[in-house]
Amino acid sequence: MEGEAVSGAQLIAQALKAQNIEYMFGIVGIPVTEIAIAAQAVGIKYVGMRNEQAACYAASAVGYLTGRPGVCLVVSGPGFLHTLGGMANATINCWPLIVIGGSSDRNQETMGAFQEFPQAVRTSMYGRPGSCYIDIPGDFVNLQVNKSSVKYMECCLPPPISMAEHSAVSKAASVIVLSKQPLLIIGKGAAYSHAENNIRKLVDLCGLPFLPTPMAKGVVPDNHPNCVAAARSTALQHADVIILLGARLNWILHFGLPPRYQRDVKVIQIDICAEELGNNVRPAATLLGDIDAVTEQLLEELKKRSWKYPSNSEWWQKLRGKIKNNEERSKGLALQKSLPMNYYTVFHHIRDLIPKDCILVSEGANTMDIGRTMLPNFYPRQRLDAGTFGTMGVGLGFAIAAAMVARDHSPGRRVVCIEGDSAFGFSGMEVETICRYNLPILIIVVNNNGIYTGLDANSWEQMLKFGDPVTCVPPVSLLPNAHYEKIMSAFGGKGYFVKTPEELQNALKASVTDEQTPSLINVMIDPQSERKKQEFPWLTRSNL
Ligand code: ADP
Ligand code: MG
């Protein structure tokens, strides 16, 4: 061939680089190994993971954290199939993601679809973000073409910013100024769109009570006086006007329907996705557009009317009373001295000792639910959890992605990954990945020997007397006293097995001080430890 040659793999790598792709996660094999090597050669950071599913979760978290899609690289067949969990999770979460899979070789004529790259990048980022898949023919990877015949597409532009119709903004403002019991709900779409400054202004200027959804915690700091998270049910149930900023009225928000809401609650919905507007409730106003831009429009309109919600209203009194009550109940549980510890005691100590600006990754049923209420977030996009799909097994992939992004974009920021013992099991071998790349992640496994609840060692022994374990081990049970911390020490990280508050405090202090070494604290809690009684008991089994 005349002139300098470039391989298919190099083309792919260069095309991705041209789209400002920074991170690739995957597992190599025929035919994609060369793509990973070529990606590293052009300066894309490649993280080799242990399961494609975790790799895909990691790549999607990069998309959420940076606003540009991460790439997940896999082989065809089973490799690709393992990414489906990650692709579904990213799509449902509205996070940009590109999965590249290698398929079998094909005829040369069917190749050369490289314009598809920028199109894929745009598809993942524009409008409502989500995942997309690119299938690379195997023989393309090692095919050589003349370098001079290749034209890379320029990096696609950032997503265009759309604003809401003026009449809709003014209608929304009219509804807001007449509200008696307003509530601002902030969703992870608001976090993703970096709307924190304008939303903060809206809260401060208008004196609105606000409630973050789980991953929107920190868009406005949880310790802001207007945060009513500790009175969540009351706030939802009695609000007469709700401003919904980048959150869907799905199961996380109880569908926007009674008995969790007033039947005639007026919802002002702000979303980038037109299809979302009017889902489940008939909104009082719909503002189609980018959250940051639309919040600014709304601010302007409310400024004109110089409206501020009075801080001495009955609504505020009711909310404040509820907040105080709920906080006292949690405090009571947190200070219980009995052993084994309960969830509240564990989170109480974690809250005291982890850095305020750490990125929190969390999954598990009770571990995630209770952790969400007990662990505050002070900065946006610093909480990653099972999300809209309630996916368990995302934690370690998310933690790896967060540690990579933190290392490059906010050095010194720690990642703390708090896992239920069941959730940890889904991708526990990624601890090897964490140690291989020496990512100083702190994993805390809140271990209750099971899924929801488990058995203590004595009950386990007793139970086994009844015969064949497969006939008598409760389906929710996992092996009691499993030493998950040894997975960490097996790969050179630090493992701690703790049973008392003192041991927990010491392990936390040691792990937080050591900023170089990955560590895992396996915290044994009461296997029957339950959450606080809920007002709506039929909903307590949700992953919320
Ligand atoms: P949560 O889980 O916090 O309730 P959801 O994932 O249900 O949040 O909702 C997020 C919403 O945000 C989605 O409907 C999505 O279309 C929307 N969204 C994402 N990015 C933007 C943006 N830049 N501007 C407006 N809406 C956005
Ligand atoms: Mg458990």
Helix, strand, coil content of the chain in percent (nearest 5): 45, 15, 40
Residue 488 lies in a domain: yes
Backbone angles phi and psi of 245, in degrees to 5: -105, 95
Per-residue pLDDT, averaged over 442-460, amounts to 95
pTM of the model: 0.93
Give the atom of ligand 1 at the shortest distance from the alpha carbon of 92: 6
> Which of 74-78, 106-110, 328-332, 442-446 has the weakest average pLDDT?
106-110
Task: Assess whether 92 and 37 both reside in one domain.
Answer: yes
Q: Give the integer Cα–Cα distance in Å for 74 and 27.
A: 6
Give the pLDDT of residue 455: 94
Q: Give the integer Cα–Cα distance in Å for 46 and 357.
A: 26
Task: Assess whether 173 and 236 both reside in one domain.
Answer: yes
The CB of 272 under 6 Å from ligand 1? The reply is yes
Q: How far apart are the first and last CA of the chain?
A: 60
Integer-rounded Cα Rg, in Å, for the chain is: 25
Task: Assess whether 371 and 478 both reside in one domain.
Answer: yes
Residue predicted with more confidence, 424 or 110: 424
Q: Report the 10 Å Cβ neighbour count for 138.
A: 18
Residue 107 lies in a domain: yes
Give the pLDDT of residue 43: 97
% of the chain residues with pLDDT over 70 = 94
Per-residue pLDDT, averaged over 92-111, amounts to 77
Task: Assess whether 199 and 286 both reside in one domain.
Answer: yes
Q: Report the 10 Å Cβ neighbour count for 305.
A: 12
Encoded amino acid at 289, one letter: G
State the distance from the centre of ligand 1 to the C-alpha of 441, rounded, in angstroms.
28
Q: Give the integer Cα–Cα distance in Å for 340 and 325.
A: 26
Residue 152: which pLDDT band, with cuts at 50, 70 and 90? Answer: confident
Task: Assess whether 343 and 467 both reside in one domain.
Answer: yes
At 164-192, the pLDDT tens digits run 999 999 999 999 999 999 999 999 999 99
Q: In CATH, what number is assigned to the domain containing residue 133?
A: 3.40.50.970
The residues pairing with 446 across neighbouring beta strands, listed in sequence order, are 420, 523
State the distance from the centre of ligand 1 to the C-alpha of 6, rounded, in angstroms.
41
Task: Assess whether 292 and 343 both reside in one domain.
Answer: no
Alpha helices in 465-535 (DSSP H): 469-472, 485-490, 501-513
| 237 close to 254: Cβ distance less than 8 angstroms | no
ipTM given for this complex: 0.94
Task: Assess whether 119 and 202 both reside in one domain.
Answer: no
Are β-strands 5-7 and 144-146 bridged in parallel, bridged antiparallel, or unpaired?
Answer: antiparallel
Is the pLDDT score of 113 beyond 70? no
Is the pLDDT score of 28 beyond 90? yes
Residue 542 lies in a domain: no
Give the atom of ligand 1 at the shortest distance from the alpha carbon of 252: 4
Give the pLDDT of residue 471: 86
Q: Give the integer Cα–Cα distance in Å for 57 and 37.
A: 21
Task: Assess whether 313 and 377 both reside in one domain.
Answer: no
Domain that holds residue 497: 336-524
At 120-151, the pLDDT tens digits run 888 899 999 999 998 888 888 889 999 998 88
Mean pLDDT for the chain overall: 93
| 496 close to 517: Cβ distance less than 8 angstroms | no
Give the atom of ligand 1 at the shortest distance from the alpha carbon of 93: 6
| 434 close to 401: Cβ distance less than 8 angstroms | no
Give the Cα-Cα-Cα angle 247, 119, 138 (nearest 5 degrees): 115
Residue 265: which pLDDT band, with cuts at 50, 70 and 90? Answer: very high
| 536 close to 260: Cβ distance less than 8 angstroms | yes
Q: Whose CA is nearest to atom 22 of ligand 1?
A: 290
% of the chain residues with pLDDT over 90 = 84
Closest ligand to residue 251's CA: 1
The CB of 385 under 6 Å from ligand 1? The reply is no
Closest ligand to residue 192's CA: 1
DSSP 376-414: ---STT-EEESTTTT-TT-HHHHHHHHHHHHHHHSTT--
| 101 close to 79: Cβ distance less than 8 angstroms | yes
Tally of structural domains, the chain: 3
Task: Assess whether 133 and 270 both reside in one domain.
Answer: no
Q: Give the integer Cα–Cα distance in Å for 54 and 429.
A: 10
